[in-house]
């Protein structure tokens, strides 16, 4: 049960990041993280997703200032 929850959350994390990155970057992220423990994989992807969202917000702020 726990394993299936972790696998599903991992797949959802990969999918959500995939919505914000190029195909080459997606593959790189997945290849880098495949050997890691699933919980670490999910945590890292959440941190990366958050960083991407923060960067996008900062870009919007910077564009609005110009």
Note the pLDDT tens digit of each residue in 24-65: 566 666 666 555 556 676 777 888 888 888 898 888 888 888
Kindly indicate the confidence band of residue 18, based on its pLDDT and cuts at 50, 70 and 90.
low
Give the SS3 label for residue 49: helix
Q: Which pLDDT score is estimated for 63? A: 87
For the chain, the domains span 2-65
Q: Which pLDDT score is estimated for 48? A: 87
Give the SS3 label for residue 66: coil
DSSP, residue by residue, 4-47: HHHHHHHHHHHHHHHTTS-HHHHHHHHHHHTTS-HHHHHHHHHH
Mean pLDDT along residues 9-17: 73
Q: Tell whether pTM > 0.85.
A: no
């Amino acid at each position: 049960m726990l394993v299936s929850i972790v696998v599903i959350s991992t797949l959802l994390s990969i999918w959500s990041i995939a919505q914000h990155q190029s195909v080459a970057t997606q593959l790189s992220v997945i290849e880098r993280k495949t050997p890691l423990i699933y919980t670490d994989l999910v945590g890292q992807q959440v941190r990366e997703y958050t960083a991407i969202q923060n960067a996008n917000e900062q870009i919007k702020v910077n564009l609005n200032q110009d």
